[in-house]
Structure 1
Amino acid sequence: MKKSLIPLLLVMFLAGCSTKFSYFFLDWAIEWRVEEYVTFDDEQQEKFDVLLDKFLVWHQKDELVRYSSQLTSLSVAIENQTLTPEMWQQQVVDAKAHWFRIFNFVLPDLLPILSSFSDEQADELIAQLKKDNQELNQKYAGKTQLQLVNESNEKLQDRMDDWLGSVSDEQAALVAEYNQQRVATLDMWLEYRLDWLRQFQVAIEQRDETALLEQRMRLLMTNPDELKSAAYQQHVEQNTQLFGQLIIKINQSLSPKQRKHFTRKMSELIEDLSDLSKEIK
């Protein structure tokens, strides 16, 4: 459910897609994705549709303004080359807060739906989540650290190409340096995902206990760090700081053409989000 439902509201950020076009199909995208994980009965579907409609109105009216504001702040700092490690860390904190607000909004209406699952529906959901985990493990099985680093270099450079127009040799070297310095956390991440799924399965299996279900869902959705080892949390924090340093170095290396390309794309995104927030029907 964590993967299949709420995060899909960020579909408007998919590379190569129009923000407005993507957002207008967000309800369809969420419905389609949820259907891959669980088959609702008529009553559950009606409740979910009400929840989805209410959520989309709230998200479009209140949350898109927050996204626009955060991106504006980030864009100004990048354009003026005033982005600092502390500012980057705050950007990360603010991004996490978006997720927490979303979950807190949907939880009251989501809990009754989860509580009403039959054993067959619960099994269907857990089976699909386990399948996702198996496919993810297979994706990385047997890959060496060098292969993982090279793949990460390629993915990050592709994203930078989109936002900057093209990546210089200097910038590619900065990306490679970052991925070499980054602490390997793949095994820890996969283990964390497995533990998260175990905890989620327990919550669903004991879904008749409403208070306990809410408590566990809040833990899993808004405080998942409690399931991470101290070493994993430390490594994630270290990598977050390293990525912030990379962003600052890349910003300092931008050519006038790259900066213009980035500013245009960011301005278009911010304008789209701002416009969407005002287009409530």
Structure 2
Amino acid sequence: MTHPWRKKTRLWLAGLACLLLVGCSTRVIYYWLDVAIVWQLDDYFSLSSSQKKLLDNEVKGLMSWHRQQELPRYAKDLDALAKAVASPMTPAQVSRHLAATQQSLTRTLANTIPRAVRLARTLTDAQVNTFMRDRLARQQEREDDFAKDPKEKVLRESTEKMNKRLVFWIGEVKPAQAPLVACWVEWQYEMMPPWIEYQRVWIGELDQLLRERASPDFEQRLTKLLAQGDGLMDGRFTGYTEQSRQRTVNWLSELSQSLDIKQRAHLYSLLKGYVGDFEKMTRGQ
């Protein structure tokens, strides 16, 4: 539920996020993640055999590091979160747990970027052009969809999606929690115009950067774009990021305080299950 601006293009992290959003076997998904990443990037760029070999080695190295270094932290952080959700959480408590998640993402990004740079330097102009055409087409499609869909339709569909997510996490959504869902959905709709504008600017920056991928400062610039991308346009978007984070913290705290015993037990059990999965994966099971 955190704002996505600081995580743009982290393809493999999106895969990890799926571990916490679907009811599939966590370990099965995780152990197939390296294959899925290679397939996805090959679909984006139509990689040559040598590029596939390089990518495969880089992804295997990344996943090995992640399993040894990050999964134990995941287990520890989720165990602490499971204990915290047993009682109503204050905004300060929510903020601390979100900060732990961001720290993990930052560490993972630091390990990922040098690997991404090595692959990016092997890309041809034709591969970059194909990739960027697809990104720009997808961006235009998002903009067109938002422009043409009535607000009522967007809010209705977003409410349905949010309720499904909450059912997964807390078992059911009580009528008394409907205003919280409505508030969240309205906020997301409010943030869509600046988010769409940010995406457009960000993609333009990525396009320019990839065309200068042979430059000595390519890694430094890529790191800045991925880790601090909301600083584009003289920091215009930074305020939206901070506003979104604070709203998320407050909203999660209110949701936590609204849970009944049954919902807390469901969430606690779910988190402890992930703790067990991550501990087993750390041991290679």
TM-score of the superposition, structure 2-length normalised?
Answer: 0.88
Q: Which residue of 2 aligns with 1:263?
A: 268
Residue correspondence of structure 1 range 246-261 to structure 2 within 5 A: 246-261=251-266
Q: How many residues align?
A: 278
Paired residues for 1:80-91 under 5 Å:
80-81=87-88, 83-91=89-97
The amino acid of 1:24's aligned partner reads Y
Pair 1:150–1:239, CA change in 2 (3 A): farther
- The aligned counterpart of 2:220 is 215
Task: Return the alpha-carbon distance in structure 1 between the equivalents of residues 12 and 186 of structure 2.
Answer: 34
> What does residue 36 of structure 1 align with?
43
Q: Which has the higher contact order (CA 8 A, sep 6+)?
A: 2
CA distance in 2, matches of 1:270, 1:261: 14
Aligned amino acid, residue 63 of structure 2: L
TM-superposition CA deviations, 1:113-148 (whole Å, max 9, x none): 211211111112212222221232233232233433
Deviation of 1:162 after TM superposition, in Å, equals 1.0
Aligned to 1:245: 250
SS of residue paired to 1:40: coil
Look up the match of 1:56.
Answer: 63
| 1:1-281 correspondence to structure 2 within 5 Å | 2=9, 4-81=11-88, 83-180=89-186, 184-209=190-215, 211-227=216-232, 232-279=237-284
Residues 229 and 179 of structure 1, relative CA distance in 2, 3 Å threshold? farther
Please provide the CA RMSD for this pair. 2.2
Percent identity of paired positions between Structure 1 and Structure 2: 24
* In 2, Cα distance between equivalents of 1:16 and 1:128: 30
How far residue 79 of structure 1 moved from its aligned partner, in angstroms, is 0.7
Q: Is the 8 A contact 1:182 1:242 kept in 2?
A: no
Task: Report the CA distance between 1:181 and its aligned residue.
Answer: 5.7
The 1-side partners of 2:144 and 2:78 are apart by 35
Answer whether contact 1:9 1:30 (CA < 8 A) is retained.
Answer: no
After TM superposition, the score normalised by the length of structure 1 is: 0.89
Check the 8 A contact 2:85/2:268 in 1, yes or no: no
